[in-house]
A and B are shown apart, each in its own frame.
Chain A
């Protein structure tokens, strides 16, 4: 196990944190401590230098104007791309997911350039997707997540996957990418429409990210309160199907 703490970077929560996504960073920190792992959280505001040598980068959802501002700042910095080249992992939710792709729609519906870290592009869904989202992970060994993914989606984007990515999961209830798949993954870069927050409701995904950071598989630790929440939410997603 690594001696130094796991370095977690929360990217622009002031721009990308509209839907409680700050909970993902809280969950990483909480679950790390359950496993006896030390974690350092670095919160980056626009204008600050983003380090390119951290272990896990987390981005949330945000409004259109803020999303464009975040994408522009990240493209100008280049740090995220360098960090991914060095083996860091990225978890990006909703607007954060969209801006990792090649392009996404801005407030006026025009295509804005993304980072190109995921081979996807996003345009608009005919109708905004709002509601519980449940999806079955694709069992290709890309993550150690074997249980259903649960979350809440609230987005107007249809995300189209290219050959360079694999879907993270297949939708069983809700909209996700818009074509029956949900999220995208390549290497250690993950994009998803799961709010909830995602890692609170899906601790196995947090354990995947933490495991990558320390270079060893983490055996899941189950917390009763979280299990009860998962059961309730997955039940309600099935009911509203």
Chain B
């Protein structure tokens, strides 16, 4: 009886949430998802658990790549029918709730979750599988430091022993977070950025590294044996536990990191009993993810949009930018959703952009300009590079498409100029 009441209450709360969201949209305040989610949760505190109702197939969390990985996985899983998933990168409690409330009813759900919100979302939604890909420094003014976050994940898995964990064994922090789970599928997914996992998160001893292998001489912890492998040589290959190889060359999302994301998604597909060859074919139809890697028109320029919000993400993106002397646009903001402190710019190897002119913009363009000055990279500081009368470096306007790497709020603004809440 209690359960029926709770469920009815949630239904009414969802209706109220939709109404609030529609009002917010009418007033031109964005997609209304956060407002709608807040209203629903206010009226029915257990709405998330009610809406999940045992149908959550997988949650995906990581510092980097969770939106892309979720899209790849949800697309692969659509082989078995409709899937409830986020259409945008909204990944805190409200965004997860909204995807469940407004996606196809009763369909299996594949959801991305902000790394700090994962423990409470996992406890409420009780997924079959959770994918844990990487942890590194990001928005340190909001998030816990990396090791602290890993301890929270570890506690979460101890408290929820039924969930199957698919985890990246090459990230020692993720391995520490995952290792106590009862059922773990380890994937050798690679780790480009090692600066946040130099010491053992358990005992503080410096980790020994040999290629992707790592171990701790202090407490004996070592990289777990993996059942899935990821190989990269210009294009990616995923190798399953039985030695079966899956060629990822047909992926349209660029870069090594997306092929690695696809490998982890494939390991989840295997746990969900999906056809893996079909999964690869479907993942190859994904061309851009919530604006990431999409070509859009911004004022007088056509740009390829890249989301670049922390050092680990940047070190991957620098590889896919066209070579010098092609100019690129970089927009650095420090609004709440970007992280208030952009001193992480000093952890990014911007020296690799030498030989070209960078167009520096965003509300922290002066921090970027000084960083580029020290890196020996030419820069022009322009408040609005998309204005018709902006003075851009020679050759910029002749480019068919120019790469534009932006932090979160600048990225969202370029994707959807009507989104006034997120000022450039």
Which residues of A are at the interface with B, using a C-beta cutoff of 8 A?
14-15, 17-23, 26-27, 30, 45-47, 63-66, 68-69, 107, 130-131, 152, 154, 195-197, 200, 223, 225-226, 228-229, 232
Contact = CB atoms under 8 A, between A and B. Distances in A.
A96 B340 CA distance: 22
Interface residues of B, number: 31
Contact of B146 (A21, A63, A225): A63
Nearest to A201: B370
Contact of A131 (B140, B204, B340, B347): B340
Contact of B137 (A18, A30, A200, A223): A18
B89 interface: no
6 contacts: A18-B145, A23-B371, A26-B374, A63-B148, A65-B201, A131-B340
A130 B141 contact: yes
B226 interface: no
Given A65-B201, A154-B141, A14 B148 contact: no
Among B195, B199, B201, B369, the most chain A Cβ lie within 10 Å of the Cβ of B199
Interface in B336-352: 340-341, 343-347
A69 B217 CA distance: 14
A46 B374 contact: no
Nearest to A45: B206
Interface string B131-147: 00000010011000111
A46 B204 contact: no
A90 B155 CA distance: 39
A156 to B, nearest CB: 10
A225 B341 CA distance: 18
Interface of B: 137, 140-141, 145-148, 195-196, 198-201, 204-206, 340-341, 343-347, 366-367, 369-371, 373-374, 381
A197 to B, nearest CB: 6
Contacts of B146: 63
Contacts of B381: 225
A63 B135 CA distance: 14
Given A63-B145, A130-B141, A226-B370, A69 B347 contact: no
A78 B146 CA distance: 29
Nearest to B208: A47
A223 B206 contact: no
Contacts of A20: 343-347
Given A19-B341, A23-B374, A225-B373, 6 more contacts: A22-B347, A65-B200, A68-B204, A69-B204, A69-B205, A131-B340
Contacts of A197: 343, 346
Contacts of B141: 130-131, 154
A240 to B, nearest CB: 10
A18 B148 CA distance: 14
